[in-house]
């Protein structure tokens, strides 16, 4: 984690247990790099350790940005990335469209 620029003191023993249970070094490095590239503060991982090992993270973020969400939206509401797998996120966006709503204008917390 320190190699990725994270402070291990920001995580609990339970967080480490979850990360170790799902450990995939490549995915962790890629996801941290993705967050860095998008200029999202890495503290997004502090309360959402699931993002470290989410193999669909890149696709979910790409989907959200394709409907007009910006990195700041994602930083403020990362729970949408944890709550849904890619298929579930696609379904939520589809429901918004079918309801006549523009996903860009709907806060992520309402997804």
Read off the pLDDT of residues 32-87 as tens digits, 9 standing for 90 and up: 999 999 999 999 999 999 999 999 999 999 999 999 999 999 999 999 999 999 99
3 pLDDT band (50/70/90 cuts)? very high
The pTM of this model reads 0.94
Token reading at 72: 């700041």
């Amino acid at each position: 984690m320190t190699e990725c620029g994270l402070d291990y003191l920001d995580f609990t023993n339970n967080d480490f247990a979850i990360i170790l249970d799902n450990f995939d070094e490549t995915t962790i490095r890629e996801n941290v790099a993705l967050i860095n590239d998008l200029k999202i503060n890495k503290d997004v991982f502090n309360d959402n350790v699931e993002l470290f090992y989410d193999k669909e993270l890149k696709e979910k973020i790409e989907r959200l940005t394709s409907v007009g969400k910006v990195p700041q939206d994602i930083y403020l509401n990362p729970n949408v990335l944890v709550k849904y797998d890619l298929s579930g996120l696609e379904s939520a966006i589809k429901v918004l469209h079918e309801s006549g709503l523009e996903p860009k204008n709907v806060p992520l917390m309402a997804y």
